Amino acid sequence: MERRKIGSLEVSVVGLGCNNFGWRVGKEATQAVVDAALDSGIDFLDTADMYGGGQSEEYLGDALGTRRNRIVLATKFGLSMGEGLSGGSPQYVRQAVEASLRRLKTDRIDLYQLHRPDPATPIADTLYALEKLVAAGKVREIGCSNFSAEQLRAAGGRFRSVQNELSLLHHGAEAEVLAECARSGIAFIPYFPLANGLLTGKYRKGQAMPDNSRGKDAWGPKLFTDHNLETVEALDAWAASRGHSLLELAISWLAAQRGVQSVIAGAKSPEQVKANASAAAWKMSGAELAEVAAIVTGY
């Protein structure tokens, strides 16, 4: 699999998002998904302390076992882990990293990310605390998530990555962030690359959704609109005319965007993670990207 850079780290162009672990996926299923990811050439695994209330990190640490050194391990902090346990204050940064190291059963985190901006803490204070962790060898690179271009500039280019939502159905809002990443050399890591499952091709206009589908979740009514479902059908037909699936289009399109270094997609089964791993093999041409742009913008 193609490999790209996040600071000093080298990662697979398709990564594994571990947000399902401890929530939709139990311990045994987590083991199966992680095994499939490593067997498929994925070596960039991204989680967060709050996923599954800490169980995502616990399950991932157990699943990796002695294979920890084979992968690039990323996690996030800052969202609530209980009363008084959130944010980016230096004191909490030190507390959060120790808790994540313990749950992940490792002595270092390769990419440690602030999950969202903390308006109560000056970004310089958070950065100072994070860079102290790097100097101590507990963290290799630092990143952020849900930051605007202005907030990235305020951080002075000291973050090596930013993880924001980006997909074929959610892209206009990130244009300025992508431009800032290209200008400053910050790696862009898209989350929700499959638009919460809408870009897998299993949802169709006029068809009922399964009870366990993401379309039933809180964000479903905003995402699973007639307009989006019609766009998905058009994208699916376009991809099929070129011998590809909608999933392959969704991931390959992201991999072709300037600044994107790894596309992290979640998976609940070995079959899903294997499909994600192979999806980025399509190297889209400029002409193909232009045709896709015409579909998603309606021109």
Examine residue 215 and state whether it is found in any structural domain, yes or no: no
pLDDT at 220: 56
Question: CATH no. for residue 29?
Answer: 3.20.20.100
pLDDT at 225: 87
- Write 291-295 long-range contacts (CB < 8 A, 24+): 291/238, 292/168, 292/235, 292/238, 292/249, 292/253, 295/231, 295/234, 295/235, 295/238
First to last CA, the chain: 34
Phi, psi (degrees; rounded to nearest 5) at 255: -65, -20
Examine residue 204 and state whether it is found in any structural domain, yes or no: no
Examine residue 9 and state whether it is found in any structural domain, yes or no: yes
Examine residue 217 and state whether it is found in any structural domain, yes or no: no
Alpha-carbon distances, residue 160 vs 66, 99, 182, 271 (angstroms) = 27, 23, 12, 32
Amino acid letter at 191? Y
Enter the tokens of residue 19. 């947000």
pLDDT at 271: 97
Examine residue 212 and state whether it is found in any structural domain, yes or no: no
Phi, psi (degrees; rounded to nearest 5) at 55: -70, -30
**10-residue block means of pLDDT along the chain (299 residues)?**
97 97 95 98 98 97 97 98 96 98 98 98 98 98 98 96 96 90 96 92 67 54 84 96 97 96 96 96 96 88
Helix (H) or strand (E) holding 159: none
Examine residue 291 and state whether it is found in any structural domain, yes or no: no
Examine residue 106 and state whether it is found in any structural domain, yes or no: yes
**Parent domain of 145:** 3-196+248-284
DSSP class of 173: G
Known catalytic residue at 59:
no
pLDDT at 203: 74
Examine residue 238 and state whether it is found in any structural domain, yes or no: no
Alpha-carbon distances, residue 121 vs 39, 115, 134, 138 (angstroms) = 41, 14, 20, 22
What is d(CA 239, CA 227) in angstroms, rounded to the nearest whole number? Answer: 18
Helix (H) or strand (E) holding 133: helix 123-136
Overall number of domains in the chain: 1
